[in-house]
Amino acid sequence: MLSRRELLRAAAVTATGALVPSSIRSVFAAPGGNAASAKSMIVLWMAGGPSTLDLWDPKPGRPNGGPVDAIETSVSSIHLSEYLPRTAKRMHDFSLVRSMSTREAAHERGTYLLHTGYDPNPTVRHPGFGAIVSSEVGDPQLDLPSYVALNGTAPRAGILGVAHDPFVVANPRDPLQFIREAAGVDDARGEERAKLLERREEEYAARDDEAAKTRRAVLGRARRLMKSPLLAAFDLNKEDQKLRAEYGKTPFGDACLLARRLTEAGVSYCEVVLGGWDTHRNNFAAVKNLARTLDPAMAALFKDLSDRGRLEKTLILWMGEFGRTPRVNEFDGRDHYARAWSVAIGGGGIKPGRVVGATDDDGEEVTERPVTAQDLLATACTVLGIDPRKENVSAEGRPIKIVSDGKPIEELLPEKHAGS
Amino acid sequence: MRRLAGAAVACLLFGSVASVARADDVASVATNVASVTTNVSAETRGLTRELDRTFEELWASANVAPAPDAAPGELLRRVTLDLVGRVPTLDEARAFLEDRDPARFERVVDRLLASHAFGENVADGLTVVLLGREPRLDTIDKRRFRDWLAARLDEDVPLDAIARDLLTARTDDAVAHPESQYLLLGGDPTSLAGKTARIFLGNRIACAQCHDHPYEKWKRTDFWSLAAYFQRVRREEVKEPVSAEMRKKKQQPRTINWKLHEADQGETQVPLQNGETGRPALALPRFLGGRYDLTLHGTKAPRLPALARAITVENRATFAKAMANRLFALLFGRGVVHPVDDFSEAHQPVHAGLLDRVARGLDEGNFRVKPFLRAVVLTRAYARSSVSAETPGGASEGESDATRVFARMRLKPLSPEQLARSLATATRCEKEQPKLLDRFVRVLGRNDEDDPHQVQEAIPDALVLMNGPEVNGLLAAKAGSLVALVSAETQIEKRVDLLHLAAFARTATEAERRDAVAFFTKAKAPKLATGDYLWSLLQSSEFNYNH
């Protein structure tokens, strides 16, 4: 009997609502055909709502700009905040969207919106984008999980089922925390234990119950993960330590490096979390400090992927749940602001060195080309070869499109997708 | 036991049993103590008999033969998990299997219902349903809510009274009054409305928030009229007093408490739909298809007491169905209506008569949980095996039919709390229970408000169970632990039986004994062998499911 998850994978629902087998799904796939440029995605998630004016869209000399100066980048027409000197040197690897305009300025709601494209709704649990990528792009035969969260947690799979929930690596320096055998249990004993268990489970399989079968499958996959040669991807010590130092050797830097290694090993989606951005007080000192962690890691990640020839295959998206108020408050801080803010996007075939949209001189309103969370996710879908209008079905039989309304940002799409 | 015997004999002489106790009957009657101590038992007996008749009708109409009796140890383990949320102890298992008294199961049931672990176990599940698992507000500790609810359940406070307490809570001190957490954490009026309808009435009207329900009869105005009851809920943060020290350091005062009240004014509007023009209408209280309550319109009259009455009194029958269905699902792994909170056209009860009977049983028992559960666990249906009647390995025709109509007991996954408690109990390391609870609730505790019987296991859970330090710590031969006890036993067959009794409430099969002997004699690290063998028992499906 097929599990709900298997049914979802096997079927695809077209605009007319008819169920279509996956073998011909590609006919209805992403505009421009199913030639995806990106095979994996790394999201750099800035938890708390980052002050993007002080990073990507500086306003030097204006009251709202605060003390932040603008610096040149490797792309002559683009200036970034002085807090991102190294990333500025890699501006030719990625692009900016300065006209994000979303409507959720509360942490939980904003996080939900940016990860799902939907407002939180008590009647349905929309899958986080990582779960979508795991479900659409992930290889079920891969020993490693397809959706990994590093340095923090990431949104769950909701209606797609727990198999697509994020695998959380809380500490990038000890990622194999539960993947290794327990302390004191060597390989020989581990094998003995596993054999005892296998024999016991074989007997139990005679009960012929769906639930017991699922458990055996999960145990099997867990064991395969434990014994997988791909686990080497988790070992930062296997990396050139000079390169590791370039990432900054902070937990965030290590996690970015780990994300690069994991995507190389076949993981489809990694989300690396950096928290502390909720700067209602002492904004500039806090952002400057956070940028000391962010800047080297992000620059190193782009350079590393580019040097390895992997940038084309790896989509990178830098974002938070919203931006921050252009007007500085009485505590020298900035509060939540969703009307105008920025994200950075590159790799995966995304045209680099571009700026999409703009804000006014004071950073308060978007003056051209507003972009929604849905547009952003539709863009990601397109380069990953995912049909944004594909519907997943909830347990109650409710069809939920991956992205219901948004349109991909044409200006950033690689040539083969544009104009469709 | 003796204490009860004394009381029982007294009841016999002065109570409701009509026949005179003859001398040679006293002994046998005294051993049936638990079953005649109170009137409760008599009333539940009636319900048990009627339920069994209804089950038989259901099985006959579905043309399904009931599975054989569950093995005694299996039944003991099942009822212990269902009622007190853990596996039986080694001593409980041994005592039960050696007890020749035909009423031994009833006595176990009464022992479990009288234990404090009962309230905690049922409250664990209901707390997740009512409050979810995610942390929501500063200083609000859901464990206090669980403890409040557990105490109520231990005292057998009726469910309708509990529901009324939750819906009409108001306080200046939420920390001291945890029943306020349902309204405090329930979100805005639309969120509270959807949740309340779903949990207390099995009605997923929340789907009608944005548009008329696609296939049920509920319209948007129905939803918003329900939300209007919650419109005046007011929450107020109480912050710590600002000290001079804090002022100097420019520190923000922390939240230390909450106030919960219902204001005497405030309305909302039904939002316009796409294409609708004109002024939005006011959303005024009207209970699900009923008439508008004019005393609540444009007045200062409190609305929540009216809502509580509407649910627990005026719509008592629907409330009874929803609550009875949930309790039934606790025991059978699935409600008579499934999903447990969706009584709609699309989800017909497995058998209308069965749904009616359980609802009426709960209602006639005045919504008390203990007598209801007692009646159900004493049915023949509850005692069905979870193994198919067919030969092992063969999927029989109508296999899933048997489970669907409760002719065969469904396998139920353990909740994180039940798993943690069971691991501590089985390994006789009860002191480790808090650590285990903490780990498993954090890792497995994902199911926010969902039906606990839909718990699905994923790889991270399996890894924590297999390799985590908490579980492996249970396998060391610490004083008093199962491993220490078993290691002291010289005969391998006896060791194996002890291990199986502790984990599964049964002795080992011949095959298991043979395999164990082979394993123990060959073991390279004999001191660690018992721990390794126990590890395999704790990882098994047999341990991780309630069957």
Residues on chain A touching B533 (C-beta within 8 angstroms): 196
CA-based nearest distance A355→chain B, Å: 34
Helix or strand run (H / E) with residue A319: strand A314-320
CA-based nearest distance B138→chain A, Å: 15
Q: How far is CA A191 from CA A102, A177, A187, in A?
A: 53, 19, 6
Structure tokens that stand for B175 in this block: 């920390």
Residue whose tokens read 């005649």 = B36
pLDDT at B453: 59
Residues on chain B touching A208 (C-beta within 8 angstroms): 388, 392-395, 399
- Which member of B388, B460, B524 has the closest CB to residue A208? B388
SS (H, E, C) B436-491: HHHHHHHHHCCCCCCCHHHCCCCHHHHHHHHHCHHHHHCCCCCCCCHHHHHHCCCC
CA-based nearest distance B440→chain A, Å: 13
Q: What are residue A294's phi and psi, to 5 degrees?
A: -70, -50
Helix or strand run (H / E) with residue A80: strand A79-81
Residue B457 and residue A214: Cβ atoms within 8 Å? yes
Residue A123 and residue B194: Cβ atoms within 8 Å? yes
Residues on chain B touching A181 (C-beta within 8 angstroms): 467
pLDDT at B490: 86
- Alpha-carbon gap, residue A420 to A380, rounded angstroms: 16
Residue B209 and residue A200: Cβ atoms within 8 Å? no
Across A112-202, the runs of DSSP E, i.e. the strands, are 147-150, 167-169
pLDDT at A418: 54
Residues on chain B touching A203 (C-beta within 8 angstroms): 511
Mean pLDDT of A306-334: 97
Share of chain B above pLDDT 90, in %: 63
pLDDT at B40: 67
Residue B540 and residue A122: Cβ atoms within 8 Å? no
- pLDDT category of residue B140 using cuts at 50, 70 and 90: confident
CA-based nearest distance B12→chain A, Å: 45
Residue A189 and residue B540: Cβ atoms within 8 Å? no
Q: What is the DSSP string of B306-326?
A: HHHHIIIIITHHHHHHHHHHH
- Alpha-carbon gap, residue B335 to B358, rounded angstroms: 11
Nearest CA in chain A to B198: A123
Q: What is the DSSP string of A212-224?
A: HHHHHHHHHHHHH
Residue B457 and residue A183: Cβ atoms within 8 Å? no
What's the residue count for chain A? Answer: 420
DSSP code of residue A410: G
Residue A358 has pLDDT above 60, yes or no: yes
Residue A32 has pLDDT above 60, yes or no: no
Q: What interface predicted TM-score (ipTM) does this complex get?
A: 0.83
Residue A200 and residue B536: Cβ atoms within 8 Å? yes
Residues on chain B touching A167 (C-beta within 8 angstroms): 459-460
Residue A193 and residue B532: Cβ atoms within 8 Å? yes
Question: Model confidence over B236-270: pLDDT tens digits?
Answer: 999 999 999 988 887 888 899 999 999 998 888 88
Of the candidates B138, B429, B347, B147, the one whose C-alpha atom is nearest the C-alpha of residue B257 is B138
Nearest CA in chain B to A196: B536
Count contacts between A and B (CB, < 8 Å).
135
Nearest CA in chain A to B410: A209
Residues on chain B touching A396 (C-beta within 8 angstroms): 204, 207, 342
- Under 8 Å between Cβ of B532 and B475: yes
- Alpha-carbon gap, residue A98 to A376, rounded angstroms: 12
Residue B467 and residue A179: Cβ atoms within 8 Å? yes
Residue to test with chain A: of B536, B537, B542, B543, most A Cβ within 10 A: B536
Interacting residues of B338 by C-beta distance below 8 A, sequence separation 6+: B329, B347, B350
More confident residue, A6 or B243: B243
CA-based nearest distance A363→chain B, Å: 28
Pairing of strands B545-546, A11-13: unpaired
Residues on chain B touching A156 (C-beta within 8 angstroms): 446
Residue B190 and residue A122: Cβ atoms within 8 Å? yes
Q: Could you tell me the pTM of the whole model?
A: 0.86
For residues A344-382, b (16+ Cβ closer than 10 Å) or e, as one string? bbbbbbbbbbbbbbbbeeebbebeebbbbbbbbbbbbbb
Residue B500 has pLDDT above 70, yes or no: yes
Nearest CA in chain A to B389: A207
Nearest CA in chain B to A169: B460
- Under 8 Å between Cβ of B490 and B496: no
Structure tokens that stand for B212 in this block: 């008329």
- Alpha-carbon gap, residue B445 to B438, rounded angstroms: 10
Residue B400 and residue A189: Cβ atoms within 8 Å? no
Residue B164 has pLDDT above 90, yes or no: yes
- Alpha-carbon gap, residue A41 to A44, rounded angstroms: 10
CA-based nearest distance A343→chain B, Å: 28
Mean pLDDT of A11-28: 36
- pLDDT category of residue B272 using cuts at 50, 70 and 90: confident
What are A13's strand-pairing partners?
Answer: A19, A391
Burial class (CB in 10 A: 0-12, 13-18, 19+), B110: buried
Q: What are residue A8's phi and psi, to 5 degrees?
A: -65, -40
Helix or strand run (H / E) with residue A147: strand A147-150
CA-based nearest distance B329→chain A, Å: 16
- Alpha-carbon gap, residue A391 to A394, rounded angstroms: 10
CA-based nearest distance B279→chain A, Å: 23
- Alpha-carbon gap, residue B208 to B216, rounded angstroms: 9
CA–CA–CA angle B321, B325, B328 (5° rounding): 140
Residue A207 and residue B392: Cβ atoms within 8 Å? yes
Mean pLDDT of B520-528: 85
Question: Model confidence over B175-221: pLDDT tens digits?
Answer: 999 999 999 999 899 999 999 999 999 988 887 877 777 667 888 88
Residue to test with chain B: of A168, A195, A207, A280, most B Cβ within 10 A: A207
- pLDDT category of residue A103 using cuts at 50, 70 and 90: very high
Structure tokens that stand for B370 in this block: 């203990």
Residue B400 and residue A165: Cβ atoms within 8 Å? no
CA–CA–CA angle B168, B171, B173 (5° rounding): 145
Question: Model confidence over B468-485: pLDDT tens digits?
Answer: 999 999 999 899 999 999
Nearest CA in chain B to A200: B540
Q: How far is CA B195 from CA B4, B185, B223, in A?
A: 43, 11, 12
Share of chain A above pLDDT 90, in %: 75
pLDDT at A118: 95
Residue A215 and residue B195: Cβ atoms within 8 Å? no
- Under 8 Å between Cβ of B166 and B183: yes
Question: Model confidence over B489-499: pLDDT tens digits?
Answer: 988 999 999 99
> Omega into B339 within 30° of 0, i.e. cis?
yes
- Which member of A161, A212, A218 has the closest CB to residue B545? A212
Q: How far is CA A54 from CA A287, A297, B240, B427, B488, in A?
A: 8, 18, 34, 56, 68
- Alpha-carbon gap, residue A265 to A308, rounded angstroms: 13
Interacting residues of B522 by C-beta distance below 8 A, sequence separation 6+: none
Chain-centre distance for alpha carbon B175: 25
- pLDDT category of residue B296 using cuts at 50, 70 and 90: confident
CA-based nearest distance B461→chain A, Å: 9
- pLDDT category of residue A290 using cuts at 50, 70 and 90: very high
Of the candidates A155, A189, A215, the one whose C-alpha atom is nearest the C-alpha of residue B419 is A215
Across A321-387, the runs of DSSP E, i.e. the strands, are 323-324, 336-337, 341-347, 355-356, 358-359, 366-368
- Under 8 Å between Cβ of A71 and A280: no
